[in-house]
Amino acid sequence: MVALTEAVVSNKRIASTFSGGLVAVFVGGTSGVGEYTVKAFAKYTRNSRAYIIGRSEASATRILAECRSLGPSNMFEFLQGDISLLETVDDICKKIRDKETAINILFQTQGSMAFNAVTSEGIPLASSLGMHSRTRFILNLMPLLQRATSLRRVVTVMAATLEGPIDLDNLAGIGFPLRQRRDQFASAQTLLLEKIQEKIPGADGVGYVHDVPGVVQSGITRDAEGFGMKVLIAVTGLLGPLIRTPIDECAEMHLFYATSARYASSDGNENTNGVSLQDGIEVARGTIGKTGSGVYSINTRGEPGPPRVDEVLANLRGDGTANKLWDTIMAESKKVTGTESL
């Protein structure tokens, strides 16, 4: 388990470790975990640049002002767009690629509980944000991640360590109970990260973290549909003070996931793995059961999932589900945009 105090110690070493600064992209950064983490990034980095991507210009204006106050030597820019649309993802990635030659961190939190909605591109909204959009951001920005000479890290915030079965005939989980849909999306997210690492040349030089934030205050419930969901949200709201992860703790832990060498890439290049480990912290076990394998599914304390999760993922690889999932996501991306990536 990574204690909050240990994460803070590591985060305080970010500025000295990366004295030349970092470049980070925060997708879904105008609320919730993305907002909290970009503010921590502002606090602990120097001479860095961060792009905040989201829909709300009003929220972004407030966050940018706070970030500039926290980190006056840093640069922050808002890129507005509906990132449930793959065409918009491509447009935003083109803007970043025009501005930057390399990036160090891609941090993604986009999601929706509007489970019956469909985007104008014909993809169910929840799966577009939870699978398609996230995968396309990684693929589009992979050349910039690979050109980074220091840290190279992807963090995707969803439901890690809760992986479960996948129904390829209903990948969006339409009509599923909330827990079944959550577990399916968790498995899809982890397996897609593994496939990126496997299929893209040089992608093993990036560390990939899939985490679960616990109960945090965010905007994901604003689109929730159905009476049952509204009751669940109301109950969670009432219990919030007792079960919710404090904002400061959420921010510190997620910045740690994004910068610590605990979540090293699998290529063995120590120069790109992040802030060196202090005593008592080791490189984490990856999703294939091997220490330092490059893809990590971690809980709210930065620890790998239990053996049950390893077994679920192994079965999904073994029966061909992982390959079919990848092929489906790539085929739908190509159908919408004409290409599998930029």
Element (H, E) at 184: helix 178-199
pLDDT band at 222 (very low <50, low <70, confident <90, very high): low
236 pLDDT exceeds 80? no
Rounded-to-integer distance, Cα 99 and Cα 246, Å? 35
Give the residue among 260, 227, 218, 241 at the shortest CA–CA distance from 10: 260
75 pLDDT exceeds 50? yes
Tell me which residue has tokens 């204690």: 3
CB 88 within 8 A of CB 81: yes
Q: Which of 98-102, 222-226, 246-250, 276-280 has the lowest mean pLDDT?
A: 222-226
241 pLDDT exceeds 80? no
Residue 76 in 3-state DSSP? strand
Rounded-to-integer distance, Cα 334 and Cα 340, Å? 5
Average pLDDT (256-284) is 96
Residue 122 has φ and ψ, to the nearest 5°, of: 90, 15
pLDDT tens digits, residue range 7-21?
999 999 999 999 999
Q: Between 238 and 15, where is the model more confident?
A: 15
| Burial track 319-334 (b if 16+ CB lie within 10 A, e otherwise) | eebbeebbeebbebbe
Rounded-to-integer distance, Cα 197 and Cα 189, Å? 13
Tell me which residue has tokens 């059961």: 289
242 pLDDT exceeds 50? no
Right CATH number for 4-335 from 3.30.830.10, 3.40.50.720, 3.40.50.300, 3.10.180.10?
3.40.50.720
pLDDT tens digits, residue range 144-203?
999 999 999 999 999 999 999 999 999 999 999 989 999 999 999 999 999 999 999 999
The Cβ-side half-sphere exposure at 278, using a 13 Å CA radius, reads 13
What pLDDT is recorded for position 256? Answer: 98
Give the residue among 69, 10, 33, 62 at the shortest CA–CA distance from 251: 33
**Beta bridge partner(s), residue 210:** 156, 297
Rounded-to-integer distance, Cα 190 and Cα 217, Å? 24
Q: Which amino acid is at 126?
A: A
pLDDT band at 233 (very low <50, low <70, confident <90, very high): very low
54 pLDDT exceeds 70? yes
127 pLDDT exceeds 90? yes
Rounded-to-integer distance, Cα 150 and Cα 123, Å? 36
Give the residue among 19, 31, 17, 73 at the shortest CA–CA distance from 50: 73
225 pLDDT exceeds 70? no
Q: 54: buried, middle or exposed (CB in 10 Å: 19+, 13-18, 0-12)?
A: buried
Contacts of 144 (CB under 8 A, 6+ apart): 96, 97, 100, 101, 102, 103
pLDDT band at 231 (very low <50, low <70, confident <90, very high): very low
Residue 179 in 3-state DSSP? helix
122 pLDDT exceeds 90? yes
What pLDDT is recorded for position 215? Answer: 76
Rounded-to-integer distance, Cα 158 and Cα 3, Å? 21
What pLDDT is recorded for position 226? Answer: 54
